[in-house]
Amino acid sequence: MCLYKKEGEAQLRGGSEEKKSQKGKGKGRKKKGPAERKKRKSLRESKGNEGG
């Protein structure tokens, strides 16, 4: 039963990871954690300011 539960979780995570991988295909980098997300947000904001 435990294995089944783990498999289900893995499937759920896989789907989410697939979606993320599609989004960050250009960079070709894997998500490492919350720090990466924060850095990405910062980059996005700075880019927006520069472009705007």
pLDDT in tens, 5-29: 555 555 555 555 555 555 555 555 6
- Beta-strand runs (E) in 1-52: none
Q: What is the pTM of this model?
A: 0.17
Average pLDDT estimate for 19-41:
60
pLDDT of residue 20: 54
DSSP state of 29: -
pLDDT > 70: percent of the chain: 0
Q: What's the half-sphere exposure (Cβ side, CA atoms, 13 Å) at 48?
A: 6
